[in-house]
Structure 1
Amino acid sequence: MSTCAKVSRDLEEPLAGTAATARTWLLVEQPGPWGADALTSSHLDPALGRALDEAAEGTGVRIALIRRPGRHADCRTTAERQVYAAHTAPGNVWLHSATTSDPERLLDLDFAALGGGRAGTFDRALGGRPHPGGPLALVCTNGKRDRCCALLGRPLAAELAASGVDGAWEVTHLGGHRFSPTLLVLPFGYAYGRAEAHAVKEVLQGVREGRVVTEGCRGSSAWERPGQAAELAVRAAVSEDAAGVLTVVRTEGQAPHWEVTVAHTDGRRWLVTVAQGASSPPRPQSCGSPLGSPARMDVLAVRELSRTAA
């Protein structure tokens, strides 16, 4: 039986505009097994997981659990946990890190402030500081969400770690199982699908150089999905790979049609027409799910506006 990832690859399903949406990511180390809803189905106290989920709701913060690649002992206690917070909106991109032996301290965070891009709440609550290392490469490996994430994601994460990628972590959920192996790179927040180790290393080198690699890119988590597709289309149209120079400033309309305005820091603007289509022929969105026609973001036009256009 074919996996959802193989069917998606064979059908050449487009990747643009399929990334999870989150302006701020909060990542909490939790070794051991993960369930499908990892915040409440792991060795993290489920009451704490529920409280964190409720605290983050509607704030723009997405919480995920992470663990080091490799074999996982069934750890029920963790002396020190690594915690990261990253904000992905251009003009205020940052990645801070901390360690804590008391995950209850996460409830001291002001999630509204964190979602708004204010790192101070993370630093005060957890003793955080700007992350001294390089970018993070987060590979979804949660087989309880979908078997493709384990079958394809775990080997990729292990290969990255074995080849010396310091920022390689396994992560609980990035969405889009059928695009496995899926990857999120922080701090810029671009997601990738059908990732391979050599391509991931190129992406990470791009981050270190302030560039965005668009090959295999699903979009930036800073934007809703029409904006993700629009920003990538502008990058392709004008051969722009610099990180942090494009911003989605306006999205008008509603499904299945949007007009998205994308602005450059140099004053240029583009109006991008995006339409939501249905993928055909039908295919499973996850392994074992019924056949369906997942939504896709199709860019119909990219038109440059005058520098003075609103």
Structure 2
Amino acid sequence: MTPPERFFCADAARARNDAFVGTAPYGFVWVLIEYRRSWPANGFDGLDLDPRTKALVFSAARAHRARVLLIRRHGRRRAAGSGRWAVLRHDGSGALRQQWGDWRRDQDLAEIVTALDSPGEPGRPPVVLVCAHGLHDACCAVRGRPVGGVLSARWPDLVWECTHVGGDRFAANVVVVPDGVYYGNLDARSSVAVVEEHLAGRIRADHLRGYTTLYPPQQAAVAAVLGRFGPAGRHDYAVVGTARDGDGWRIRVSGTPPRTSVLDVEVLARRTPAHRLTCRGPAGSSAVVYEVTSIRAG
């Protein structure tokens, strides 16, 4: 008897042409912890750390609505030596701040709690995270690790592999923090072009899942504007108004000169038919898709 063909959620999503715009998880703060050993399926939650320290970090991260991710350099599996940790923040003014430290003992991670209450330093280069969490979802390893390899070769000081960032079916996923920008459906070639453009201040719509500082309909509106008018910097467009309009939203987007000053974007949401959305998940899950129906000058 022939065994059933193995299911890969990213292959299935591409075959269905699943929309990925508006799928960036909302958030402003990230905690990164370098962990070179094998990552548990549930990431930081599954680590065998000093219970008191782990509880302190978890509680502080939850209070700040921070996402905790394990990170490691591509291809490096040595366990000896100290690791690094970081708190990265996209604050309300749009400033991008970071604070880094080292840890050797579990108790050293308690410094993260203090860092979460500190503003951090501006001016550091962004961190490029590639989801390669194969134990969480096979596609994150199959598609993520080759992307992690090629990006690490190009920008060795900026790029880290990381645990689950959400949206397994859009692997390979790349997140630039503290900018708060999610990209998906990447491969080795497209990832280099996307990151190169991002670092040059040109965010393109092609692989953009969204900005984490915006809600899904707002993410879809900004992505549509970028698709219509071309690449722009992270803060060249701002959402200045959001109103529910029947079954959708009217999103007002303001651009910096020489771009159109104000645009009104209409967005509708719909649910997809039920599908199997992750490699481990059950069949029969639906997703929300955000469709832009019009863009006009405000």
The answer, yes or no, to whether TM exceeds 0.5 is yes
Equivalent residue, structure 2, for 1:92: 94
1:204 and 1:240, CA in 2 relative to 1: closer, same or farther beyond 3 A?
closer
The residue that corresponds to 2:261 in the other structure is 268
Specify whether residues 196 and 255 from structure 1 end up closer, same or farther in structure 2 by C-alpha distance, changes over 3 A only: farther
TM-score, length basis structure 2: 0.85
User: What is the CA–CA distance in structure 2 between the aligned matches of 1:249 and 1:48, rounded to whole Å?
Assistant: 41
Q: Is the 8 A contact 1:140 1:153 kept in 2?
A: yes
> Compared with structure 1, are the counterparts of its residues 272 and 108 closer, same or farther at alpha carbon in structure 2 (3 Å cutoff)?
same
1:114 — aligned with what?
Answer: none
Q: CA deviation at 1:70?
A: 1.3
- Structure 1 length-normalised TM: 0.82
Can you list the C-alpha shifts for 1:235-277, whole angstroms capped at 9, x where unaligned? Answer: 2223352331111223233995222222223482222221211
3-state SS in 2 of match to 1:107: helix
Distance in structure 1 (CA, Å) of the matches to 2:245 and 2:199: 36
Q: In 2, distance between residues paired with 1:256 and 1:288? A: 32
Query: CA shift at 1:176, angstroms?
Result: 0.3
- Kept in 2, the 8 Å contact 1:33–1:42? The answer is no
Q: Conserved in 2, the CA contact under 8 Å of 1:30 and 1:43?
A: no
Report the number of matched residues.
286
Flag the 1:78–1:284 CA change in 2: closer, same or farther, 3 A.
Answer: farther
Q: Closer, same or farther in 2 for the Cα pair 1:187/1:206, shift >3 Å?
A: farther
Name structure 2 gaps, 5 residues minimum.
1-5
Is the contact made by 2:251 and 2:265 (CA closer than 8 Å) also made in structure 1?
yes
Query: What stretches of structure 1 of length at least 5 have no aligned partner?
Result: 112-120, 124-128, 306-310
Greater CA deviation, 260-269 or 181-190? 260-269
1:84: Cα distance to partner?
A: 4.3
Percentage of identical aligned residues: 28
Structure 1 residues 254 and 88: CA distance shift in structure 2, 3 A: farther
1:289 aligned partner: 281
Could you say what secondary structure the match of 1:109 adopts? helix
Partner SS state of residue 148, structure 1: helix
2:265 corresponds to 1:301: no
Deviates most, 46-55 or 102-111: 46-55
Q: Contact 2:205–2:231 (CA<8 Å) still a contact in 1?
A: no
| Counterparts of 2:136 and 2:47, CA distance in 1 | 13
CA deviations 1:201-251 (Å, max 9, x no partner) are 222322332211222111111111111101111222233523311112232
- Name the counterpart of 1:170: 161
Determine the structure 2 residue equivalent to 1:22.
Answer: 27
CA deviation digits over 1:65-100, x for unaligned, max 9?
211111524x3x7524142413176x5231424222
Give the CA deviation at 1:293. Answer: 1.9
In the aligned structure 2, how far is the partner of 1:93 from the partner of 1:180?
Answer: 28
2:114 is aligned with what amino acid?
A: D
The equivalent of 2:74 in structure 1 is: 69
> In the alignment, what sits opposite 2:82?
79
Residues in 2 aligned to 1:100 and 1:28: alpha-carbon distance in whole angstroms? 9
CA distance in 2, matches of 1:145, 1:178: 12
Question: 2:3 maps to which residue?
Answer: none
**Aligned-partner Cα distance in 1 for 2:138–2:96:** 32
Displacement, 1:191? 0.8
- Of residues 106, 123, 136, the one that matches 1:145 is 136
Distance 2:255 2:265 in 1: 13
* Partner Cα separation in structure 2 for residue 44 and residue 247 of structure 1: 41
Structure 1 position 157, deviation (Å): 1.0
Q: Which amino acid aligns with 1:56?
A: A
Counterpart of 1:107 in structure 2 is: 113
CA RMSD of aligned residues (A): 2.5
Distance in 1 (alpha carbons) for counterparts of 2:154 and 2:99? 23
Give, in whole Å, the separation in 2 of the partners of 1:61 and 1:50: 14
What is aligned with 1:126? none
| Correspondent of 2:14 among 9, 13, 22 | 9
